[in-house]
Structure 1
Amino acid sequence: MPTQQERRERTEAALVAAAAELVVESGVRALTLAKVGERAGYSRGIVTHQFGSKQGLVDALARAIQGGFVPGLTEMPPGLERLLALVDGYLHALTGLGTANRAFLLLWAEAATASELAATFRERDRGFRADLRQDVEAGVAAGEVRADADPDAVAVAVVGQLRGIGMQRLLDPEGVDTERLRAQVTAQWRRALQPG
């Protein structure tokens, strides 16, 4: 028999999955706690109990999706190889572009004009850039990244490139072959960052 914690986690996963589906179908403005509960087979009350508000639900959705976008990175030490694995894994994840990834990109794009999303995605992107900065700094310290590489600039450029490719893939899945891009983009960053 599942424990209370296991039931809570299963319920949260079902609600987050339902929210992602609804975002992909109708956008975040149409997302309501009642619709999420109905889609997942629960009441609106359980959604409110689980997340507190629509903002809490959107925060959980952003964390759940971004946290698992590229598996295996937490086991790697910071440095150039982890940064390159992230780039490669991110582009690979875009190839399938499942519901969760599509929802994240749609929410991220909408955050530019939706104040209720801006803080969540600003925080998520700051965390993403902080991880990349850490990789560049560790790479410089280990001598595997050029000493003159600016960790902040590299982090902004990598996030911008990956999110830009993601948006292109979302808009034109047949025209943007992310599997073909993987080797090219990863090699581009290796050339740009390795000491000359």
Structure 2
Amino acid sequence: MTLRSHTPPTPQQARSELSTSRLLDAAMELIGEVGFERATLAAIGERAGYSPGLVTRRFGSKEGLLWTMIERMVVDWNSSVLGPAVGDSGGRPALHTMVTGIHASAVEAPARMRALYLLMFEALLPIPLLRERMAELHRGMRESVAACIARGVDDGTVDPAVDVPRAARLFVGALRGAAYQALLDGEVGVAAAIDDVHALIDPLLPSPS
């Protein structure tokens, strides 16, 4: 069998990836400070050390930047980190793994986590594209959580009387609410607030009687 050789990126590709990463990091930091609506492409480029023209060329528009940022913050992270960690597990272990993974992300990248949650809450404003994207992400998360709970029912570790969609809504709501309170009053950090959600999982998904 012939092994396919890995072609290293060209210097231009490496520079492009570096500038993209810096622009996205700058966007996350700025959105975490002032919100999506007040964050301008010019301010993002300046913070990253690049011209506004580069931001436009790279992402096309502010909405294009938003899609790329969410793709890296949520979609890529789900597929490369959280998804493999949860695997085919179900019920309480799966939800505990989710909380552990989100907690770790909040510890490792607090600016990214803050930006993501501010985007979620700002999506309540009349910003159609942002609202649509955030609603889609929440639907996807509820569906993933519901699938994990359903596997627990199927394998006999979760009481079949549990209302799966309702339990999924409550679990996602607990995560969002914990982060919101932490960002709002600052009494505890976001990571610590998310870690508290572990305590809700076992009562939410009781074992069969």
Would you call these one fold, judging by a TM-score over 0.5?
yes
Deviations along 1:110-153, one digit per CA (max 9) or x if unpaired, are 10113241011111111211211121122222222221223321
In the alignment, structure 1 residue 54 sits paired with structure 2 residue 62: yes
Identity of aligned residues (%): 34
For 2:34, the aligned partner's letter is: S
TM-score (norm 1): 0.84
- Report runs of 4+ in structure 1 exceeding 6 Å deviation: none
| Worse-superposed segment, 170-179 or 146-155 | 170-179
- Distance in 1, matches of 2:63 and 2:145, equals 27
Correspondences of 1:53-72 after superposition (within 5 Å): 53-67=61-75, 68=77, 72=81
Q: Which amino acid aligns with 1:155?
A: A
What is the SS of the residue equivalent to 1:146?
A: coil
Which piece of structure 1 moves more, 87-96 or 11-20?
Answer: 87-96
Equivalent-residue separation in structure 1 for 2:14 and 2:123 (angstroms): 32
**Following the alignment from structure 2 to structure 1, what is the Cα–Cα distance between the partners of residues 111 and 39?**
15
What 5-or-longer segments of structure 2 have no aligned partner? 1-7
Q: Secondary structure at the match of 2:37?
A: helix
* Residue in structure 2 matched with residue 185 of structure 1 by the alignment: 197
CA distance in 2, matches of 1:179, 1:106: 18
Pick closer, same or farther for the CA change 1:176–1:20 going to 2, 3 Å: closer
Query: What's the CA shift for 1:66?
Result: 2.6
Residues 46-76 of structure 1: CA deviation (Å, up to 9, x unaligned): 2222222111111222232234389742223
Q: Structure 1 residues 6 and 137 mapped into 2: Cα distance closer, same or farther (>3 Å)?
A: farther
Equivalent residue number for residue 164 of structure 2: 151
**Whole-angstrom distance in 1 between the partners of 2:177 and 2:194:** 13
Query: Which residue does the alignment assign to 1:127?
Result: 140
C-alpha root-mean-square deviation of aligned residues, in Å?
2.7
Segments of structure 1 that go 5 or more residues without pairing to the other structure are none
Q: What TM-score do the two structures reach when normalised by structure 2?
A: 0.80
Structure 1 pair 157–14 and aligned structure 2 pair: CA distance change class (3 A): same
Code of the residue aligned with 1:61 in structure 2: it is M
Q: For 2:197, what is the secondary structure of its paired residue?
A: helix
> 1:40–1:153: structure 2 CA closer, same or farther, 3 Å change rule?
same
Where do residues 66-81 of structure 1 align in structure 2 (5 Å cutoff)? 66-67=74-75, 68=77, 72-75=81-84, 76-78=86-88, 79-80=90-91, 81=93
Q: CA deviation at 1:94?
A: 4.2
Query: For 1:181 and 1:14, how far apart are their aligned partners in 2?
Result: 27
Query: What amino acid maps onto 2:115 in structure 1?
Result: A
Report the alpha carbon displacement of residue 104 of structure 1 after superposing the two structures with TM: 0.9
Alignment of 1:18-29 (within 5 A): 18-29=26-37
